[in-house]
């Protein structure tokens, strides 16, 4: 089932096209852009800083090293995007490096 409303984001605003060839322009406000900037870049950085203050270095490094594998899984499940062989190799190298480092510490 297809959605009858399609939005195209450009620099001047959002073009909303209805099913009956009607086109309306909705200008993006600076407040919306500021919210996107805050929630997608500033908030994760602040959370990382709080986590670094509370977790040990090894635990924080483990959490950061799992980010590529988690992003790959989310991409497969949510976006239905199958990673390329080079992307899978990169995730494998990160996991292998983590395993080698943990074995060296034991």
- Please say if the pLDDT value at position 59 is more than 90: no
What is the pLDDT, as a whole number, of residue 35? 83
Q: What is the pLDDT of residue 48?
A: 87
More confident of the two residues 103 and 22: 103
pLDDT digits (tens, 9 = 90+) for 74-98: 999 999 999 999 999 998 998 888 8
pTM for this model (two decimals):
0.53
What is the DSSP annotation of 20-76?
A: TS-EEEEPPPHHHHHHHHIIIIIHHHHHHHHHHHHS-HHHHHHHHHTHHHHHHHHHH
């Amino acid at each position: 089932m297809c959605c009858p409303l399609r939005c195209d984001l450009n620099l001047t605003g959002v073009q909303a096209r209805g099913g009956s060839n009607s086109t309306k322009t909705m200008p993006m406000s600076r407040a919306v852009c500021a919210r996107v900037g805050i929630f997608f870049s500033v908030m994760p950085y602040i959370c990382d800083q709080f986590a670094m203050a509370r977790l040990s270095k090894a635990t924080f490094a483990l959490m950061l090293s799992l980010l590529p594998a988690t992003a790959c899984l989310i991409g497969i499940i949510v976006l239905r995007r199958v990673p390329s062989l080079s992307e899978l190799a990169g995730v494998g190298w990160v996991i292998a490096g983590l395993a080698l480092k943990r074995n060296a510490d034991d």
